[in-house]
């Protein structure tokens, strides 16, 4: 993890802030005049996991957290903690102010609209499992489990209660899961493999219709969050949830949510702040100003705001995670059905150039969906091996495949500056090898709808590859029935590979399964071309510590603290 140390607030720095900001404002004026379309509001992703194509600019990176690799993770966390702890002792009575661009529409799981709500609900609920900073699934309310081919057995912890005193037990877990399965909401489909649920003592037995070990990953996300069954009938559950997490909700509004530490939490000693305020500030400029002026404690920033953040004397944390920029090809198009054509396209993209040009070098070129350090990362599946930037090779591949004069395809993108920039670049780079791209930019919801219906030959956008689970993502993009696979491409052996992943009983088995799928997809000319992985940028004040960017692309505030003075 790269950590940029803070700069002293010297006069020069402040003047740079002003100059930069003035330039930024002038630039904003010019942009406004030049192109009335600007960044969209948060549009919601209406599908679970997979491509959150309707995000605001780098919204995905808002929700990504990263550390370099799992070995360093703990060290870096320690470093970070050590770094901020320089300033003094941890202030357990502090209020932490976190800024994000998004407000959750609800704090009640069945009504939660998008995956971005994770940060909000994660403070109030404990899940059945959770992810550590390396992206691994570890116990939470389920303290251990057993995976078989047709069941998943969870052992529920003893002696804990929900905020309202209701005990956490197998019955409560069953009630929660059944509520979600029957909720006719987006999370229901994530629990589809569950046929029926039984309880026995403090065990919950999930009878599966097919192997589904990756449900454990799903349980680490929003669908696995446990609420008190006694609260299910409450009318105000959207704004007054009853979970068993370290915080309770004090107040909800369109501007954000305020939480207070719950003294009955089983690990309350490690809940290091007395109160958390999550503020929804959609305007990028306003948000970074709020950090520079000291009114906000911690939050995410855009890659493009790095300079401003530095000049403003903010502490910056950067890291990669399971968040990718992809270019998806629909194989019902004759040309794109040919693996060599797909390889050619991948070779035509100058990943380094794109990273440098659009992201200041902060989008790590890659061809695989998981970052280094994440289970399933294939060490020798490198860009050089599968997709080295080589327009000549690409042209050759096309010619050999029977397209010496290229062809024309349509390419869709969300109408957000970040992605229309990518659209332009891909269009230009494909033109180099003779492929004419008809570029289409559509508003968020429209974009998702059109790509689901296969109206684009190809499309680009951000993709969260580990949420709600790895298997869900692979199914979505590589299974003929997948929700992001309108062209119906079938990865050779996809059913067996998914079975392998869902049957894995150890992390090593999961990793091996993912690796196998990764290699298989690359060997067949990946139809979901991974271009690069954008770094997540977080900024924080001097007296804030413990903030980690986790590899699985979920934002966790539970470890953050403030020091006194």
Partner 1 sequence: MSSRLLVRRLGGSVLVVFLASILVALMVHLVPGDAASAVAGENASPEQIQSTRERLGLDEPIWVQYFSWATDALRGDFGQSLITNRPVIEMVRQVLPATLSITLAASVIAVVIGVTLGGLAGLRRGVTDRVTSLGASLGIAMPSFWVGMLLVTFFALEFDLFPVLDYTPLTEDPVGWLHHITLPALALGLGMSAEVARQTRGGVVDVMAQPYIRTARAKGAPGGRLFARHVVRNAAIPVVTVLGLQIGRLLGGVIIIEQVFAINGLGTMAVRAVADRDFPVIQAYVLLTTVIVVAINLLVDLSYGWINPRVRSEE
Burial class (CB in 10 A: 0-12, 13-18, 19+), 132: middle
Nearer to partner 1, 85 or 188 (CB): 188
Q: Binding of partner 1 at residue 282 (CB under 8 A)?
A: yes
Stretch that binds partner 1, among 259-267, 279-287, 405-413, 493-501 (CB under 8 A): 279-287
Q: Binding of partner 1 at residue 286 (CB under 8 A)?
A: yes
Q: Binding of partner 1 at residue 254 (CB under 8 A)?
A: yes
Ramachandran sector of residue 55 (left: φ over 0; alpha: ψ -120 to 50; beta: rest): beta
From the list 10, 29, 82, 138, which residue makes contact with partner 1 (rule: CB under 8 A)?
29
Strand runs (DSSP E) across 313-405, as ranges?
315-319, 323-329, 363-365
**Sequence-distant (≥ 6) Cβ neighbours of residue 384 within 8 angstroms:** none
CA angle 208, 210, 213 (to 5 degrees): 75
Helices 507-523 and 494-503 meet at what angle, rounded to 10?
A: 160
Nearer to partner 1, 8 or 269 (CB): 8
Residues 66-105 that bind partner 1 (CB under 8 A): 103, 105
Q: Phi first, then psi: give them for residue 286, nearest 5 degrees.
A: -60, -40
Question: Residues 112-151: x/- map of binding to partner 1 (CB under 8 A)?
Answer: -x--------------------------------------
For the beta sheet containing 536-540, the strands, ordered from the edge strand earlier in sequence to the opposite edge, are 2-4, 315-319, 536-540, 298-301, 95-100, 275-280, 256-261, 247-253
* Minimum gap (Å) between residue 295 Cβ and partner 1: 6
Nearer to partner 1, 112 or 460 (CB): 112
What is the radius of gyration, based on Cα positions, of the chain?
Answer: 23
Grouping H, G, I as helix, E, B as strand and the rest as coil, residue 414 is strand
Q: 363-365 and 275-280: which strand pairing?
A: unpaired
Residues 32-51 that bind partner 1 (CB under 8 A): 32, 41-43, 46
Structure tokens at 359: 């992201």
From the list 174, 186, 351, 395, which residue makes contact with partner 1 (rule: CB under 8 A)?
186
Nearer to partner 1, 252 or 377 (CB): 252
- Cα(336)–Cα(532) distance, integer angstroms: 21
Nearer to partner 1, 374 or 456 (CB): 456
Q: Binding of partner 1 at residue 293 (CB under 8 A)?
A: yes
* Minimum gap (Å) between residue 105 Cβ and partner 1: 5
Strand runs (DSSP E) across 65-190, as ranges?
95-100, 129-131, 137-139, 142-147, 151-156
Distance of CA 392 to the CA centre of its chain: 35
* Minimum gap (Å) between residue 354 Cβ and partner 1: 30
Stretch that binds partner 1, among 138-146, 290-298, 416-424, 519-527 (CB under 8 A): 290-298
Stretch that binds partner 1, among 276-284, 352-360, 406-414, 461-469 (CB under 8 A): 276-284
Question: Residues 304-333: x/- map of binding to partner 1 (CB under 8 A)?
Answer: --------x---------------------
**Sequence-distant (≥ 6) Cβ neighbours of residue 42 within 8 angstroms:** 55, 56, 59, 101, 102, 116, 282
Residues 428-487 that bind partner 1 (CB under 8 A): 445, 449
From the list 10, 27, 28, 428, which residue makes contact with partner 1 (rule: CB under 8 A)?
28
Residues 220-239 that bind partner 1 (CB under 8 A): 235-236, 238-239
- Tell me the β-bridge partners of 365: 532
* Minimum gap (Å) between residue 442 Cβ and partner 1: 14
Which residues contact partner 1 by CB under 8 A?
14, 17-18, 21-22, 25, 28-29, 32, 41-43, 46, 103, 105-106, 113, 184, 186, 235-236, 238-239, 252-256, 279, 281-283, 285-287, 289-290, 292-293, 295-296, 312, 445, 449
């Amino acid at each position: 993890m790269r950590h940029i140390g803070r700069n002293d607030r010297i006069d020069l720095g402040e003047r740079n802030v002003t100059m930069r900001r003035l330039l930024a404002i002038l630039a904003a004026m010019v942009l406004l005049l030049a192109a009335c379309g600007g960044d969209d509001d948060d549009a919601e992703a209406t599908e679970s996991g997979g491509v959150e194509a309707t995000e605001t600019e780098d919204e995905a990176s808002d929700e990504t957290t990263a550390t370099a690799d799992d070995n360093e993770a703990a060290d870096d966390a320690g470093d970070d903690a050590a770094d901020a702890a320089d300033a003094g002792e941890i202030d357990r009575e502090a209020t932490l102010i976190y800024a994000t661009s998004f407000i959750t529409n609800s704090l009640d799981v069945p009504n939660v609209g998008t995956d971005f709500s994770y940060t909000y609900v994660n403070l109030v609920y404990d899940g059945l499992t959770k992810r550590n900073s390396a992206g691994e699934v570890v116990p939470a309310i389920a303290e251990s489990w057993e995976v078989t081919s047709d069941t998943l057995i969870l052992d529920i912890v003893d002696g804990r209660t929900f905020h309202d005193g209701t005990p956490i037990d197998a019955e409560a877990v069953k009630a929660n899961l059944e509520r979600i399965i029957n909720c006719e909401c987006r999370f229901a489909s994530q629990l589809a493999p569950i046929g029926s649920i039984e309880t026995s003592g403090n065990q919950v037995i999930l009878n599966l219709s097919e192997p589904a070990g990756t449900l454990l990953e799903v349980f680490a996300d929003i669908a696995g969050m446990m609420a008190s069954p006694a609260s299910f009938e409450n009318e105000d559950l959207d704004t007054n949830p009853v979970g068993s997490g370290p915080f309770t909700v004090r107040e909800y509004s369109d501007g954000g949510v305020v939480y207070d530490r719950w003294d009955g939490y089983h690990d309350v000693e490690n809940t290091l702040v007395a109160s958390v305020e999550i503020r929804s500030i959609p305007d990028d400029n306003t948000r970074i100003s709020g950090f520079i002026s000291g009114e906000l404690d911690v939050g995410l920033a855009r890659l493009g705001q790095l300079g401003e953040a530095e000049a403003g004397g903010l502490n910056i944390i950067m890291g990669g995670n399971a968040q990718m920029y992809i270019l998806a090809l629909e194989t019902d198009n004759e040309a794109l059905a040919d693996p060599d054509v797909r390889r050619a396209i991948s070779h035509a993209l100058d990943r380094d150039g794109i990273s440098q040009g659009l992201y200041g070098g902060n989008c790590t070129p890659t061809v695989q969906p998981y970052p280094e350090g994440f289970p399933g990362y294939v060490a020798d599946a490198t860009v050089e091996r599968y997709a080295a930037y080589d327009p000549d090779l690409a042209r050759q591949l096309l010619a050999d495949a029977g397209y010496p004069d290229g062809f024309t395809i349509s390419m869709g993108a969300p109408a957000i500056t970040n992605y229309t920039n990518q659209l332009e670049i891909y269009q230009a780079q494909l033109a180099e090898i003779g492929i004419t791209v008809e570029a289409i930019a559509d508003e968020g919801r429209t974009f998702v709808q059109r790509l689901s219906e296969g109206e684009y030959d190809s499309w680009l956008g951000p993709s969260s590859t580990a949420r709600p689970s790895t298997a869900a993502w692979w199914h979505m993009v590589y299974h003929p029935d997948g929700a992001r696979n309108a062209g119906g491409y079938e990865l050779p052996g996809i059913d067996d590979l998914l079975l392998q992943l869902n049957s894995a009983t150890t992390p090593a088995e999961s990793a091996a399964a993912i690796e196998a799928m990764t290699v298989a997809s690359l060997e067949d000319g990946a139809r979901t071309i991974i271009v690069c992985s954008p770094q997540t940028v977080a900024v924080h004040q001097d007296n804030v510590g413990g903030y980690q960017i986790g590899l699985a692309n979920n934002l966790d505030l539970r470890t953050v603290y403030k020091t006194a003075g």
